[in-house]
Amino acid sequence: MPLHNHVTDAPLPRPLYPLIKHAQQRFSSYLVFVLTLSWTRMYPTSCDTFVALPPSTEGQRIVFGKNSDRPCDEVQEVVYFPAKLHEPEEKVECTYIEIEQVAQTYAVVLSRPAWLWGAEMGANEHQVCIGNEAVWGKESVDDEEALLGMDLVRLALERADTAQQAVDVITGLLEKHGQGGNCMEDECGFTYHNSFLISDRTEAWVLETAGKYWAAERVEAGYRNISNEYSITTKIDREHQELRTYAEKQGWWNGKAEFNFAQVYSYSNTARIEAAGGRYCEGRKLLQKSKGHITAETMMEILRNKESGINMEGMFMTTGSMVSVVPKDQNLPGIHFFTATPDPDRSVFKPFIFVVDIKQLKHTCSPCFGEEDPVKKKPRFQSKPNRKHPLFLKHEVAAAIIDNTGERGQKIVEKMRALEKQKLAEMEEYLTKGIEDATLLVHLFTDTVDEEFSIYSNA
């Protein structure tokens, strides 16, 4: 039987059950009440993802953005993997399970929690961008290890050259392998279903899942955002063939009323859904405010917005952010900006462009522990190694100065913003005129990190 929050009567996350039951055996009912309320407030609600398309954007461009909200002590790295041909019968080892590899994978740039194989967000050489969100609903979440939502993000980016094909990749993998497994580097067993926002040069798709069941909505113009709640209602452009019959069998839908996916598959009311709904509505308002003039800078400011809760603080915070600008013109490059550091309000969005001969992004790569990694050993998560990459370490010191000093900290922020503004101006040249000499961009992201290092060293 589900445990409930005594204040909201909302079902509590299953990972809290062992903690609460232990407390029930040891402490008074009042203390258990206080602990339950505290644990609920600490538990993640996480992530907001946005996309804007013409005519909401300036120029004929798609603008994509995401904040990845994760445990405050988790390191997010930005990594690059080149396109690759694979041998027949080759396998790929994801976070928990091994699956069949495809003949060819595309080049990808990913922002991911350092302990994972998959990614929270990223882009590929065909300018497909994907971000995922944790969602919960009436369909129970599978604790068994399968594909994580983050694995599905990376797999789709490696295998799909359009947004619609990414929908095919994800839903096909869901059907074959399912989704499930712990989504935190901890023994707590934090699990969830996933929703995805996917874009390319021409359109976007929202894909929302409940176990193996799913619904997808096509977005051809305007803007769209997702948070930690189901948001597809009656506009369903594609769906699992048993989506409606399954809901009817479960007694969630009578088979006669208009089918509303979010209404049918969501919890009727939980504190988590209410919090996500608030961020979802605030995100839409911020997009609406700049409708017709949305740019990379607009999206960065939305991701930096703390009043709305989009830029999250606390036990669970924004640990990495991404903004992409993708022109509809096939001859112009897409620009993908990543922070690789917590809190976009005190981070630099650094540009990446897909060109040949890019090397691994060493400044934002965390240490690799191979087969000795506690994530790979069973039982998993018996220890937590130090995964801080070079940029994270330097930024951590700078962030402390920003937080604890007045004028000195302000000067660091001003220099960070000046560097970002400079890079945005440089990227505008490529977005409007194209690339004449790709060799100048091979180290674009790494060189920008070096400039960020210089700011911290001279602080």
pLDDT digits (tens, 9 = 90+) for 17-26: 444 444 444 4
Cβ-based neighbour number of residue 400 at 10 Å? 11
SS (H, E, C) 362-415: HHHCCCCCHHHCCCCCCCCCCCCCCCCCHHHHHHHHHHHHHHHCCHHHHHHHHH
Q: What is the pLDDT of residue 418?
A: 98
Q: Retrieve residue 245's tokens.
A: 């019959």
Q: pLDDT tens, 311-324?
A: 999 999 999 999 99
Nearest to 195 by CA among 215, 222, 165: 215
Q: Taking the model in full, what pTM does it have?
A: 0.90
**Residue 190 pLDDT more than 90?**
no
> Which of 29-38, 145-154, 268-277 bottoms out in mean pLDDT, i.e. has the lowest?
29-38
Q: Reduce the DSSP state of residue 147 to 3 states and report it.
A: strand
CA 171 to the chain's CA centroid: 18
Distance CA 331, CA 81 (A): 23
List of domains in the chain: 48-372 (3.60.60.10)
Q: What is the pLDDT of residue 268?
A: 59
Q: Retrieve residue 187's tokens.
A: 């023994």
CB crowding 29-49: b at 16 or more within 10 Å, else e: eeebeebbeebbeebbbbbbb
Q: Could you give the percent of the chain with pLDDT greater than 70?
A: 88
Work out whether the CA dihedral 174, 179, 184, 185 comes out positive or negative: negative
Q: What is the pLDDT of residue 277?
A: 62
Alpha helix stretches (DSSP H) within 163-294: 163-177, 243-249, 261-265, 271-289
Q: Which residue has the higher pLDDT, 192 or 187?
A: 192
Query: Is 183 labeled as catalytic in the residue annotation?
Result: no
Q: Which of 47, 129, 183, 188 is catalytic?
A: 47
Distance CA 331, CA 228 (A): 36
**Residue 307 pLDDT more than 60?**
yes
CA dihedral 232, 337, 416, 52 (to 10 degrees): -40
The residue written with tokens 């998993």 in the block is 380
Q: Retrieve residue 366's tokens.
A: 């965390």
- Ranked by mean pLDDT, the top range of 39-53, 103-117, 180-194 is 103-117
Q: pLDDT tens, 332-368?
A: 999 999 999 999 999 999 999 999 999 999 999 999 9
- Cα dist. 329→60, 203, 334, 337 in Å? 8, 13, 10, 19
> Would you mind telling me the total number of residues written for the chain in this entry?
459
Using 50, 70 and 90 to split pLDDT, how confident is the model at 2? Answer: very low
Q: Retrieve residue 166's tokens.
A: 């990414």
